[in-house]
């Protein structure tokens, strides 16, 4: 993340119209600047989504997670003025290669709010399938659908006693 990107990413992640689709508080400008100076080791990557003129239209945040499996995830926000123009699709088509290159992971798992039907349709068109559903209570109670590029990798195992 370049210094020139910090303000654009902060503006997008703080936009109330976009906060509806994200969980947790927006990072402060200071936090983003701190991440620029000392990025977390091998865990997060911030990137701008730009149009053909180089104008920032969104932000893509990549991360790596570890539980039973090591997997990558992403959050994407596109400025409402530029939504439905194909920028999210273009950025998300690059995600598998970016996660492989940055973190060495090919397995991807993402969460999307169930009522965000446009995002769900996009993820399905890109080959993601549902893994599980859960409730999130902030900022308000909503259902999240967890999706993966390899749903069988996250298949629930029967617990025997």
pLDDT at 160: 47
The greatest distance separating any two alpha carbons of the chain, rounded to the nearest whole angstrom, comes to 60
Q: Which of 2-16, 18-32, 111-125 has the lowest mean pLDDT?
A: 18-32
CB-neighbour burial class of residue 2 (10 A; exposed 0-12, middle 13-18, buried 19+): exposed
Q: What is the pLDDT of residue 45?
A: 76
- Residue with more model confidence, 7 or 39: 7
Task: Give the pLDDT of residue 141.
Answer: 86
- What are residue 110's phi and psi, to 5 degrees? -135, 155
Domains within the chain, CATH numbers bracketed? 3-154 (3.40.630.30)
The structure tokens listed for 23 are 């969980």
Say which range, 23-32, 78-87, 152-161, has the weakest mean pLDDT: 152-161
Q: Of 139, 120, 141, nearest to 129 (Cα)? A: 120
Residue 159 has pLDDT above 50, yes or no: no
Main-chain dihedrals φ then ψ at residue 155, nearest 5 degrees: -55, 135
Q: pTM score, two decimals?
A: 0.75
Express each pLDDT in 126-152 by its tens digit.
999 999 898 888 767 889 999 999 999
Task: Measure Cα distances from 158 to 13, 150, 155, 161 in Å.
Answer: 39, 19, 10, 10
Nearest to 146 by CA among 138, 135, 157, 137: 135
Tens of pLDDT, residues 12-69: 777 776 666 565 667 777 877 776 666 555 577 777 788 888 788 888 888 898 888 8
Which residues make Cβ contacts (< 8 Å) with residue 115, sequence separation at least 6? 142, 143
Q: The dihedral of CA 108, 69, 141, 20: what is its sign?
A: negative
The confidence score (pLDDT) of residue 30 equals 81
């Amino acid at each position: 993340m370049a210094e020139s990107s910090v303000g654009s990413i902060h503006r997008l992640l703080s936009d109330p119209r976009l906060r509806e689709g994200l969980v947790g508080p927006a990072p402060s400008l200071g936090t983003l600047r701190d991440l620029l100076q000392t990025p977390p080791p091998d865990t997060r990557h911030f990137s701008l989504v730009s149009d053909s003129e180089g104008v920032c239209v969104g932000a893509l945040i990549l991360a790596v997670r570890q539980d039973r499996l090591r997997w990558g995830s992403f959050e994407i926000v596109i400025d409402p003025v530029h939504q439905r123009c194909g920028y999210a699709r273009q950025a998300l088509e690059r995600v598998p290669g970016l996660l492989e290159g940055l973190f060495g992971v090919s397995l991807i798992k993402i969460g999307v709010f169930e009522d965000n039907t446009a995002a769900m349709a996009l993820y399905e068109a890109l080959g993601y399938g549902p893994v599980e559903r859960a409730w999130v209570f902030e900022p308000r109670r909503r259902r999240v659908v967890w999706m993966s590029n390899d749903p069988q990798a996250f298949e629930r195992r029967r617990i025997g006693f």
